[in-house]
Chain A
Amino acid sequence: MVEETPWQQALRYANRANPYPFYEELRRTPVARQPDGTYVVSTYQEIVALLHDPRVSSDVRKLPVPVAPPAEGSAEAEPITEAVVSLEPNIITQDPPEHDRDRRMMTPHFVGPPHSPHLISDLEPEIRRIVDGLLDNMQGKTRIDAVDEFAYPLPVTVICKVLGVPLEDESRFHGWIETALDSLDFGPEAASEEMQSRLAGGRQAVEEFGQFAAELLDRYAQQPGPGMLSAMVNEDGPEAGMSKGVLVSNALLLIFAGHETTVNLIAHSVLTLLRHPDALEKLRRRPELIVPGVEELLRFESSVQFWHTRSAVEDIDIAGTTIPKGAPIFLAYGSANRDPKRFANPDELDLERRDNQHLGFSQGIHFCFGAPLARLEVQVAVGEFVRRVENPRLVEDPPPYRHNQIFRGPRHLLVDIDGIRD
């Protein structure tokens, strides 16, 4: 049997809790060709260069399909992108000029100064109220699950409000998202029988989720309601609206991304602080450090560990390697954020780190659309957790992790506590 590459090892479920030693090995070859023809880029400088390189496409339709040739002796691997390809492109899987136009249409309904500069900041009281409620509910308990009782409910409630998705449908789409996420695997375990059967389930979930979003959008088309989805459907700007398929696809993206990444970020922030009592104590004493602190937490445990839809549209010479035209490119943000050539002592948590331009939200034209909302949510949630939870202790370290490698995070996070302050 051929020895696995550091990247393949990093992707094994057994290493989900700590992929960093494998990333360290991976960075010795900043642009590493994998046996399946994918080029994994793991160093900060090179990732930034490619994020700004107009010869790199983000459009899944430009990926050679299937991405992975079947491993020898295994059942034929399904193309990893098929579940995504069956949908119309959304802003994350589009290139300019379509990307620019669609993102430009969505922005005013979300963050876009000068159109609605206060939309996000106006949510703060609501976010505080939700966080307070969640912490109040923990009163009298000695053990909590920081994922189920804290990290998860906040972003879900907020994204439903922002988008105008009925909160009572939450359990349905939560199920679809979880099934879809658990079905995606980019590592050596993808060819296993179990993953193959999960993949079918995942495709089914995406299908149903799409159906759900389409019906919701239809309802808003007939009768406008609150939130961003309704605004997008009833777009009356100077540019022609998006096609139905693109709308559905972007709606899924927003629900999904608003749902998962922030959960992992809050959970990882709690986990990381509990592992670093000095940092936790510092943040308790100096609450104003929450702003740079969240940036450091984003760097330390990136919510999006890598991204997988990019490919080279031309031959690209980089770091002594030529990425050939047509090759898929994986950008490993989680590794770049621990690149010692960019960050001094990258494995140390430093809430006051200067010059902390991490890639936790990526860079370039695909910079995270939801970043302002995510930042606010995590600042409030983690800040209040630190302030109010008395003597929190990890029950299990490492905690159990979710299967997905891109949206990496604890599935549960049990914490023993002495109480909740007012």
Chain B
Amino acid sequence: MTVPATVAELVREFRANGRIVIVGASLAGLRAAEALREEGFTGSLTIIGDEPYEPYDRPPLSKQVLKGWVSADHTKLPRLREVNAQWRLGVAATGLDRAAKQVRLADGEQIPYDRLLIATGTRARQWPNPDEAALDGVYTLRSRDDAAQLQKALAAPPSRVMVIGAGFIGSEVASVCRELDLPVTVVERGSAPLVGALGGVIGEIAAEMQRDHGVDLRCGLGVSSLEGDSGGHVRRAHLSDGTTIDADVVVASLGSIRNVEWLEDAGLASGFWGVGCDAGGRAFDVNGVITDSIYVAGDVARAPHVLYEYQFLAMEHWDNAVLGAEVAAHNMVNLEPHYRPHLLLPGFWSGQFGVNIKSVGVPPFGDEIVFTQGSVKERHFAAAYGRRGRIVAAVTFDHGKWLEYYGKLIEHSGPFPPPPPGWDQPPDMKPIPAEFPQPGVPTAIPDVVLTGHDPSERRAEFRSRPR
């Protein structure tokens, strides 16, 4: 038998009889399962999820669900095809034994695999003081249950809502509060809302937008403590400037934590920013060597990206979960030279205060910004981010139909500033500093991070450092 025939035989055999385990039963996990079946994988497929629910969609949770338009249990993700899997829902994976090729579950069971997909995503960062976090009326917003509880609390209605952190989730919660006509105070340690993801120039526009809609926005401040009443319900927040705010619902929107603890002893390149992998979703071990049987997709993955100087990108974006899962699934049932890369141009959207905000590329990779179309005053505009004469990202406020154009420019390393449009030019088209916070300055953690390791480190050990 020739070698190529052997390889083809191996692939065929694995597709027919292999055992694949997916840890993570959310968007990436489901789409990976569907893609595996689509690719002709007929072996056994197990999907493990720590929540008791079938995969559901998260974008509606901070919008339609909170407003009460859609109930939290009506967010189930549509199935694109039959996946014929063993579902292990409501039980978390707690460990990975790479030598025995087994995933350990919280109930003690060991699930064997030939190939494994890690899609464990992220969870909400809780309010750091556990006693205060345990007060009634203190919420985070990440899961279906979170959304259902917070929706109920908002419908009560509370006398004032306090949102800690003005990233996307915090800003969307504030927006929903105003739509429900609830008084809301937003406290943000950075200089403006969305500053980590979009920089200070756009942050300033977002701040005006919040204030115009009646949000009591306090930037450059932290919350030092939360105070409850005798019944254990939150009533007050003490701010770092000595003032207090009375509020009976507090939403801690402090960014997310990647679910990597279960991989602690697995010897993979997992840590604070996620699990390192190549562009094909193949996980690295702790020494930066590629594994043959372990793949990563979704929020928990971080992979080098050709457009951004091969820095490792970790993205909490919807289409990253979908497309990353599809690529990982493809590669799981193929061999070289049929591997495919996951080279997504990052993109995300948010709806708040009646404005549709969209972005492509990686804004924090840029250091300058220029308004290219429309009017900042009317909050219908497009702006491009640049770095050293190259366009690296763009953001639009109610101008999303133009993103395609900027996406193409970014993909082709187009010039910055980009060529001016033929109409609807903003009055001032001069690039200005984009005002991203310096590394290390406390602010909401952006949901795309450039995580290239520090050149002063002598080995590539991707472990979370004490903070």
B residues within 8 A CB of A53? 405
Which stretch (A92-100, A261-269, A301-309, A379-387) binds chain B?
A: A92-100
| B238 CB–A CB distance under 8 Å | no
A314 to B418, CA, bound (A): 13
B380 closest partner in A (C-beta): A100
Are A48 and B404 in contact, CB atoms less than 8 angstroms apart? yes
Q: Which of B362-406 contact A (CB under 8 A)?
A: 372-375, 380, 401-405
List the A side residues contacting B422 at CB < 8 Å. 54-57, 95, 312-314
Does A52 count as interface, using CB distance less than 8 angstroms? yes
Check A49 for interface membership: any CB of B closer than 8 A.
Answer: yes
Evaluate contact between A96 and B423: CB separation under 8 angstroms.
yes
State the CA gap A367–B423 with chains docked (Å). 19
Bound complex: CA A54 to CA B372 (Å): 10
Contact between B424 and A55, CB atoms less than 8 A apart: no
Residues of B contacting A365 in the complex (Cβ-Cβ under 8 angstroms): 401-402
A-B pairs with beta carbons under 8 A, tally:
52
The reply to whether the CB of B440 lies closer than 8 angstroms to some CB of chain A is no
Chain A 272-285 interface 0/1 with B at a Cβ cutoff of 8 Å (1 = within): 00000000000000
- Report whether B419 and A97 are in contact in the complex, using a CB–CB cutoff of 8 Å: no
Judge if B421 is at the interface, Cβ distance under 8 Å. Answer: yes
Within 8 A of A (CB), among B248-295: none
Q: In whole angstroms, how far apart are the Cα atoms of A97 and B382 in the complex?
A: 13
Query: In the assembly, what is the distance between CA of A363 and CA of B401, in Å?
Result: 8
Interface string of A55-83 (1 = CB under 8 A from B): 11101000000000000000000000000
Q: A49-B408, A54-B373, A314-B422 are in contact. Are A97 and B401 (CB under 8 A)?
A: no
Q: How far is the CA of A55 from the CA of B380 in the complex (A)?
A: 18
Closest CB of chain B to A29's CB: distance in Å? 21
A325 nearest CB neighbor, chain B only: B422
Complex partner residue of B402 from A49, A52, A97, A367, CB under 8 angstroms: A52
A57 engages B423 (CB within 8 Å) = yes
For B418, the closest partner residue in chain A by CB is A54
Enumerate B403-428 residues with CB–CB distance to A below 8 Å.
403-405, 408, 419-424
For window 21-67 of A, CB contacts with B under 8 Å fall at: 48-49, 51-57, 59
Q: How far is the CA of A56 from the CA of B405 in the complex (A)?
A: 11
Residue among A49, A52, A95, A314 with the highest chain B CB neighbour number at 10 A: A52
B421 touches A97 (CB 8 A): no
Residues of B within 8 A of A363 (CB): 404
Let me know if A364 is at the binding interface, CB within 8 A.
yes
CA distance A312 to B424 in the complex (A): 15
Q: How distant is the Cα of A57 from the Cα of B402 in the complex, in angstroms?
A: 13
**Inter-chain contact A95/B424, CB cutoff 8 Å:** yes
> A51 — which chain B residues lie within 8 A by C-beta?
404
Bound Cα distance from A282 to B151, whole angstroms: 45
Flag if A54 contacts B423 (CB, 8 Å).
yes
Q: Give the interface size class of chain B.
A: 10 to 19
**Which B residues lie within 8 Å of A314 (CB)?**
419-420, 422
Q: Which of A48, A54, A367 contacts B424 (CB 8 A)?
A: A54
Kindly state the separation between the CA atoms of A236 and B404 in the bound complex, as whole angstroms. 34
Which of B372, B373, B419, B420 has the most chain A CB atoms closer than 10 A to its own CB? Answer: B419
Distance of A310 from chain B, by nearest CB (Å): 11
A100 to B404, CA, bound (A): 17
In the docked arrangement, what's the CA distance between A178 and B405, Å?
37
Inside 8 A of A100's CB, which chain B residues have their CB? 380
B405 close to A96 (CB less than 8 A): no
Report the separation of the CA atoms of residues A55 and B405 in the bound assembly, to the nearest whole angstrom.
10
Contact of A364 among B372, B404, B420 (CB under 8 A): B404
- Least CB distance from B257 to A in Å reads 34
Contact of A97 among B375, B405, B408, B420 (CB under 8 A): B375
Let me know if A95 and B419 touch, CB within 8 A. Answer: no
Pick the contact of A52: B374, B405, B420, B423 (CB < 8 A).
B405
CB distance from A148 to the nearest CB of B (A): 38
**C-alpha spacing A76/B254, complex, angstroms:** 70
> What's the Cα separation between A59 and B424 when bound, in Å?
12
Q: Which residues of A contact B419 (CB under 8 A)?
A: 55, 314
Cross-chain contact B404 with A96 (CB below 8 angstroms): no
Closest to A317 in B: B419
Q: Please indicate the chain A residues that have their CB under 8 angstroms from the CB of B423 in the complex.
A: 54, 57, 59, 95-96, 313
Distance in angstroms between the alpha carbons of A51 and B405 in the assembled complex: 9
Residues of B within 8 A of A55 (CB): 419, 421-422
With A57-B422, A97-B375, A97-B424: A52-B380 Cβ-Cβ less than 8 Å: no
Of residues 292 to 350 in A, which have CB atoms within 8 Å of B's CB atoms? 312-314
The residues of B that contact A364 with a CB separation of less than 8 Å are 401-402, 404
Task: Considering the complex, give the chain A residue whose CB is closest to the CB of B405.
Answer: A52
How far is the CB of A97 from the nearest CB of chain B, in Å? 5
Contact A96 B424 (CB under 8 A): yes
| Binary flags per residue of A349-386, CB closer than 8 Å to B gives 1, else 0 | 00000000000000111010000000000000000000
The distance from the CB of A412 to the nearest CB of chain B, in whole angstroms, is: 38
Report whether A54 and B401 are in contact in the complex, using a CB–CB cutoff of 8 Å.
Answer: no
Q: A96-B373, A97-B375 are in contact. Are A52 and B404 (CB under 8 A)?
A: yes
Q: A356: shortest Cβ distance to chain B, in Å?
A: 15
Of A54, A55, A56, A314, most buried by chain B (CB within 10 Å of CB) is: A54
Q: What is the minimal beta-carbon distance from A376 to any residue of chain B, in angstroms?
A: 20
Give the Cβ gap from B40 to chain A, nearest Cβ, in Å.
Answer: 16
Which residues on B sit within 8 Å (CB–CB) of A95?
A: 422-424
A97 contacts which chain B residues (CB < 8 A)?
374-375, 380, 424
Q: In chain B, what residue has the closest Cβ to A53? A: B405
Residue with the greatest number of chain A CB neighbours at <10 A, chosen from B374, B403, B423? B423
- Residues in B neighbouring A367, C-beta threshold 8 A: 401
Which chain B residues border A59 with CB–CB below 8 Å?
423
CB within 8 Å for A54 and B404 given contacts A96-B374, A97-B374: no
Contact status B401-A52, CB under 8 Å: yes
Query: Would you list the 6 A-B pairs with minimal beta carbon distance, nearest first?
Result: A313-B422, A54-B421, A52-B404, A52-B405, A96-B424, A95-B423
6 of the cross-chain contacts (CB-CB < 8 Å) are A48-B404, A57-B423, A363-B404, A364-B402, A364-B404, A365-B402
Given contacts A52-B404, A53-B405, 8 further A-B contacts (CB under 8 A): A54-B405, A54-B422, A57-B423, A97-B374, A313-B423, A314-B419, A364-B402, A364-B404
